[in-house]
Amino acid sequence: TAVVGPNGSGKSNLVDAIRWALGETNARELRGARMDEVIYSGGAGRAPMGVAQVELVLDNQEGRLPVPDAEVAISRRVTRNGDSEYRLNGARVRLRDLERLLTATGLTQSGYSVVAQNDVDGVIEATPAQRRSLVEEAAGVRGLRAAR
């Protein structure tokens, strides 16, 4: 899947929202200096908001996530005063619980499920050995050659 559209249409904001909901904790990875910058700060006659929230609803009919539900809702919410919470199907969970759930699917903020444009540029400019290492890491077989 790819997100495409003209400049300024919100592609990066959409991808940042997905990464944030999946647990990204580094504001710089979301094109910001501080995490509270994910909250709308107002502009052009519009008042600032006091909260940011993203909810992802995932199709789990094939059972890739280890929960019995056909749909899985993952949400993250943060307020200006710094209160933050994650929810799984409406129940509050810790970030580490969410990460544990998602790890088996590869759908994590630190995995290769979301690739930024500058990361694509890095792959294009990489040496063949660097590309091979990247593919081995993404496939989860990087340590096998050393063990062999």
Q: Are residues 85 and 121 in the same domain?
A: no
Q: Are residues 89 and 124 in the same domain?
A: no
For residue range 55-107, what is the model confidence (pLDDT) as tens digits? 999 999 998 888 999 999 999 999 998 889 999 999 999 999 998 888 877 66
- In the chain, the number of structural domains is 2
The whole domain housing 78 covers 11-108
Beta carbons of 22 and 65 less than 8 angstroms apart: no
In angstroms, the Cα distances linking 65 to 102, 104, 138 are 7, 8, 19
Reported as type and span, the H/E element at residue 130 is helix 128-139
Instruction: Give the CATH number for residue 85.
Output: 3.40.50.300
According to the model, what pLDDT value does residue 115 have?
66
Q: Are residues 21 and 87 in the same domain?
A: yes
**How far is residue 83 CA from its own chain's centroid?**
19
Domain assignment present for residue 3? The answer is no
Domain assignment present for residue 93? The answer is yes
Instruction: Write down the pTM of the prediction.
Output: 0.72
* Contacting residues for 92 by C-beta, under 8 A, at least 6 apart: 85, 86
